[in-house]
Amino acid sequence: MTPAIVATHVSKRIGPRLILRDIDLTVERGRFLTILGPNGAGKTTLLRILTGLLKPSSGRVLIDGRDLAEVPAEVRRQFGVISHHSYLYDALTARENLYFYGRLYDVPDLAARIDEVLAEVGLELFFNEPVRTFSRGMVQRLAIARAIIHRPSLLFLDEPYTGLDPQASETLSSVLNSLRGPDRAIVMITHQFDQGLAMADRVVVVVRGQIALDEAAADLTLDELNRRYRAAAGGTGDGAGAEEATR
């Protein structure tokens, strides 16, 4: 079966700075990939290249065997992206937000699909509440509903646990695990080693724009991951906190 995502010799230079250096990465459909790394390592830049928001300076990305730079808009519509911003409208209710995005994607049977995704993320009792009244955890769950309203086969998450308390983080992990399936590939950037390892099929560590570790999650304990991460990251920091603007 053709992999969902293949990045080959991907590098990215922004001005004089080389952000990514010769990245090779493959993500099979039905797999969950967790990407870890210190602040400024290039993780978010990599994610933006994988989703077509940035062009690599060299190398290429294939989606289902087709060059991302050449695929039609219909292929890109199979992407679901959750970033640092929710892209929700505070004055609108949960249902109104999902209706807006569902119309953008021409989702069939939209009313039924909205009910389905609200239940999937555990917000079915809050469908008529404005987003401005939501907790951070509820906003993040609604952002996931927004990202999956059109049933994407590729889901990309950039630091979904940021700002969540432990209970909200546990709920988010449950929601993300429910999104796994044989026809969907999921790529997640996180600083949360425990959640990231628990959900992943593979773990990649990016350090100074290069892949320093690429292992099956089943072959790693949390202690081993922490030890190997520290050895790979060296003096670049522990990875906690918000990333730099270039990431």
Average of per-residue pLDDT across 224-235 = 88
pTM of the predicted protein model: 0.89
Q: What pLDDT is recorded for position 72?
A: 66
Distance of CA 159 to the CA centre of its chain: 7
% of the chain beyond a pLDDT of 90: 78
CB environment 11-39: b (16+ within 10 A), e (fewer): bbeeeeebbbbebebebebebbbbbbbbb
Residues 6+ away with beta carbon under 8 Å from 176: 144, 157, 160, 186, 188, 199
Q: Evaluate if residue 107 carries a pLDDT over 70.
A: yes
By the 8 A CB rule, do 181 and 189 touch? no
Amino acid identity for residue 193 in this structure:
F
Confidence of residue 100 (pLDDT cuts 50, 70, 90): very high
Q: What pLDDT is recorded for position 75?
A: 77
By the 8 A CB rule, do 23 and 211 touch? yes
| Cα–Cα distance, 195 to 157 (Å, whole number) | 13
CA gyration radius, the chain: 18
Highest mean pLDDT among 69-73, 75-79, 83-87, 127-131: 127-131
Q: What pLDDT is recorded for position 6?
A: 97
Q: What pLDDT is recorded for position 239?
A: 42
Q: What pLDDT is recorded for position 234?
A: 79
Q: What pLDDT is recorded for position 71?
A: 76
Q: What pLDDT is recorded for position 172?
A: 86
What secondary structure does DSSP assign to the chain, as a single string?
---SEEEEEEEEEETTEEEEEEEEEEE-TT-EEEEE--TTSSHHHHHHHHTTSS--SEEEEEETTEETTT--HHHHTTEEEE-SS----TTSBHHHHHHHHHHHTT-TTHHHHHHHHHHHTT-GGGTTSBGGGS-HHHHHHHHHHHHHTT--SEEEEESTTTT--HHHHHHHHHHHHHT-BTTBEEEEE-S-HHHHHHH-SEEEEEETTEEEEEEEGGG--HHHHHHHHHHHHGGG----SPPPS--
By the 8 A CB rule, do 156 and 47 touch? yes
- Look at strands 202-207 and 32-36 and give their pairing: parallel
Q: What pLDDT is recorded for position 244?
A: 34
Q: Evaluate if residue 112 carries a pLDDT over 90.
A: yes
Convert the pLDDT of each residue in 176-222 to its tens digit.
998 999 999 999 999 999 999 999 999 999 999 999 999 999 999 99
Q: Evaluate if residue 245 carries a pLDDT over 60.
A: no
Q: Evaluate if residue 25 carries a pLDDT over 80.
A: yes
| Cα–Cα distance, 132 to 78 (Å, whole number) | 29
Give me the chain's average pLDDT, please: 91
Diameter over CA atoms, the chain = 53
Convert the pLDDT of each residue in 142-170 to its tens digit.
999 999 999 999 999 999 988 888 888 88
- Look up the CATH number of domain 29-52+72-236: 3.40.50.300
Which of 6, 11, 5 has the alpha carbon at shortest distance from 59?
11
Average of per-residue pLDDT across 20-46 = 96
